[in-house]
Amino acid sequence: MTKPYFKEIVIKVEPSYVPEDGDAFDAVVCALDHFEIPACVVERDPGVKARIVIGLEDGLVSSVTANVPLDYVVYDYDTEGCSEDELATRPAIDAGEVQVYAAGYYAAAVDSAKIAEIFEVVSTEAGKSGACDDCGAEVESVIGCPDGAELCRSCFEAGGH
């Protein structure tokens, strides 16, 4: 039996081709579909760090936005006043089980450009320093890219990632 031949292809997407939500992955998948490229397996880089912004109003989750598609579950431990049919027993984060308000799981909104912008601002405010993923330079602040890479200003402005 002959093994199928696969070749790794790295695709860089021009910003003008990226959809408004900023997800370059979707742009690549769309291009592959458009050109009818057969037997192509497209996966996200497992090394891309998921970055999430969780919005709260009055202690309740009002929005969840991430740089990559993901599902999330909310464990609402405040069960006082809930009827029995509103409660669920679920695996606890640490060990054992816990009783929570019986909500399901949800899909986060995806806006990688906005998440990168937010993480850049928060990192700068916190005085975070780090190393550039492209050149390795230690810098005072890094810029978070939609693909999870963190770049120094020079590499970012030079079109890195």
Domain residue limits, the chain:
15-50+109-157, 52-107
Name which of 21-35, 53-67, 75-89, 114-128 the model is least confident about.
21-35
Tens digit of pLDDT for each residue in 93-134? Answer: 888 999 998 878 898 998 888 988 888 888 777 665 677 888
- Across residues 150-157, what is the average pLDDT? 82
Model confidence at 19, pLDDT cuts 50, 70, 90, reads low
Residues 6+ apart with CB under 8 A from 77: 98, 100
Nearest partner of 101 among 137, 60, 138, judged by Cα: 60
Residue 86, pLDDT score? 92
Distance CA 98, CA 142 (A): 39
The answer, yes or no, to whether residue 64 has pLDDT greater than 90, is yes
